[in-house]
Amino acid sequence: MSRQVARNAVTFITALFAVLMAVPNLAAASSPGDTTSPVGFINYLYQAYSDGDDTNLLPPESIYDPDLLALVKRDVSFASSKGGPPLLEEDPICLCQDYTHLQVTSTKFLYQDPDHAVIAVAFSDVGSRGAETLQLIRFGDRWMVHDILGGVAPSLKHYLTQGLVKEGALPTPPASAPAHPAPSLLVMRECEVNDCGLWWFKGTDGAGRWHDGMTGIISTSLTISWLGSKLTVQRHDLSSRFAAVYTGTRSGDKLQNAQVIWTFPNGTRILGKWNAQFLSATAEQARRQSNAAYARGDAFDAVNWLLIGADLGDAEMENDAGVAFRDGTGARQDYATARRLFLAAAQQGSPQADIDIAQLYERGLGVPVSEAIAEGWYEKAGATGLALLAEEQARAAEQRARAEQTALREQEVVAWFQALDQYETEKKQACERSPQCRQAMEQAAQAEEAEEEREANELYWDEEQYDSCARDYFTGDCEP
C-alpha cells in the first residue's frame, strides 16, 4: 500500500520505530539480494522504493553499519521516550516521508577499493528530485552504509552524534587520539584549476571553515569525513549556489586519486580535478605562515592564517584578524565580523582588543556612536591598554606627518616642472617674434641634422668589409 502524500512527522517516527525495535530479526528473514558489490547494494537498496509498498523496505540492520545503526536506533528510541520528534524526520535513503515511484537516475563512483566505496546517487520521484553521496563499507561478504553526505545533513553520522549529545541522549564523547596525525586544526591548502584556498577543520572529522574571498563570509559550509585514509569533503558554496563532493586518499602531507564533482542548481554535474596539501596548524605555525604571506604581499592568505590562529584561540591573532576586517585589508570590510573577533580577543584579556572595541564605538564603525561605551572599554584596557593606545596614536601621527611631507615634496616637484614648462613656452614664443632668433634656431637644427648624418656615415661599412666581418664574427676578429 502506498504511503499517504501528507504524513506528519509523528506518524513517520512511529512507523520507523516499529521497524527498528519491534522486528529486530527481520534482516535474517528477508532476502539479502545482491549486496556483494557496491553497485548491487545500491540497486537493491533503492529498488525497495520503486513501487510505493512499505513492506518491501529493507530493515535498517541490512542498510547501516553497526555504528550508524546504533545512532539511528538511539535517535528513534529517545524521541519516543520523550514524545517528541526525532532528529531524523525523514528517511535518509530517499530523503522523504512519502514516496510513490522513486527511480535512481544516476550513480557515480567517487572512490572504490576492496573494502570502501563512495558513490554519488541522484534519484527522482513524482514531482521531486534528490541527490546524496553514500559512503559504503564492506562487512564480510556484504556492503553497508557507513555515512550519508549531503542528504539530510552534510554528514548523517556527525549530525546524529552531535544532536544526540546536545539533547542528552548520548554522553559527551571522551577526548581520544585522532585517527590521523593532526594538530589542533586539520588545515588543507586546496586548489581547483588555478584557484587555491585554505580549509580548516577542528579535529579530523566534522564541520570545517573557509574564508570566501568573493562574499567575504567566513563560511562553515564544509564537512569532512574519513574511511581509513580516504577522505570525502562536502561543500555547499553560498556565493554561487553549487554543491561539491571532493574525494581523495591522504598519503603523508599529500593527496592522491583526487577528484571533485560539482552539482549546480539546474542539475548540471561536472567532474573535475583538485589537489590538496595538509599543513601544520599550531598557533605559532599559523603566525609564521601569516607573517610570510604578508611579506610576499598576499594579504588574503595572511588573513586566512590569522583566522586559523583565531580558531586555535590565539588572542593576538583574533585581534589582528579583526583589524583586517575593520580596515578591509586582505578581507572584505565587515565591522560586525571585526567586532566579533575583537570581543573574542577581549574575553581572553587582550588590552589591545579593548582599545579597538572602544574605537568602534568612538567612531561609530558598525555600531551607534557612544562615548559612554567607548569610555568603559578604555577603562577596561587599563594602564597597559592606554600605553598601547598612546603608542598607536604616536605611530598614526608619525605616519600622518610623513604623508604630509611626501605630499608637500610632490607639490614642490610638480610646481617646479610647471614653472619650467612655462619658462620654455614663453622663451619659444619670444623667439618666434624675433627674425634673428628664428634664423638661429633654423641654423641650429640644420647643424644637428648634419651631425647626425656624420655619425651615421662613420658607422657605415662597405659591402666587402661587411662580408669579411660576417665570416670572422664567431672568431672575434670582426671590429667595425
In a domain, 287, yes or no: no
Residue 210: the pLDDT is 82
- Whether the pLDDT of residue 278 is over 80: the answer is yes
What is the end-to-end Cα distance of the chain in Å, rounded? Answer: 103
Same domain, 27 and 140: yes
In a domain, 289, yes or no: no
Same domain, 199 and 64: no
Q: Which of 136, 167, 198 is the last residue of a domain?
A: 167
Residue 19: the pLDDT is 43
Residue 29: the pLDDT is 35
Query: What's the CATH number where 119 sits?
Result: 3.10.450.50
Same domain, 90 and 187: no
Helix (H), strand (E), coil (C) string for 231-275: EEEEEEECCCCEEEEEEEEEECCEEEEEEEEEECCCCCEEEECCE
- In DSSP terms, 225 is beta-bridged to 232
Mean pLDDT of 323-330: 94
**pLDDT tens-digit profile of 328-348?**
999 999 999 999 999 999 988
Q: Which residues contact 93 (CB under 8 A, 6 or more apart)?
A: 45, 46, 49, 63, 148
What is the residue range of 79's domain? 9-167
Same domain, 225 and 125: no
- Whether the pLDDT of residue 9 is over 80: the answer is no
* Averaged pLDDT score across all residues of the chain: 78
In a domain, 232, yes or no: yes
Cell of 41: 547494494
Residue 441 vs residue 389, higher pLDDT: 441
Residue 468 CA to residue 458 CA, distance in Å, equals 18
- Whether the pLDDT of residue 237 is over 70: the answer is no
Buried b (16+ CB within 10 A) or exposed e, 348-371: eebbbbbbbbbbbbbeebbbeeee
Q: Which of 139, 167, 195 is the last residue of a domain?
A: 167
Question: Among residues of the chain, what percentage have pLDDT more than 70?
Answer: 78
Query: CA 19: distance to chain centroid?
Result: 41
Query: What's the CATH number where 246 sits?
Result: 2.40.128.30
In a domain, 97, yes or no: yes
Same domain, 28 and 135: yes
In a domain, 83, yes or no: yes
In a domain, 301, yes or no: no
Same domain, 124 and 33: yes
Residue 109: the pLDDT is 77
- Whether the pLDDT of residue 283 is over 80: the answer is yes
Lowest-confidence segment of 8-17, 246-255, 326-335 by average pLDDT: 8-17
Same domain, 143 and 196: no
- Whether the pLDDT of residue 364 is over 90: the answer is yes
Q: Which of 266, 281, 296 is the last residue of a domain?
A: 281
Same domain, 116 and 210: no
In a domain, 61, yes or no: yes
- Whether the pLDDT of residue 261 is over 80: the answer is yes
Give, as one character, the DSSP assignment of residue 64: B
Same domain, 27 and 150: yes
Report the candidate in 106, 111, 94, 115 with the shortest Cα–Cα distance to residue 49.
94
Give, as one character, the DSSP assignment of residue 2: P
Same domain, 83 and 161: yes
In a domain, 272, yes or no: yes
Residue 116 CA to residue 133 CA, distance in Å, equals 13
Mean pLDDT of 33-38: 77
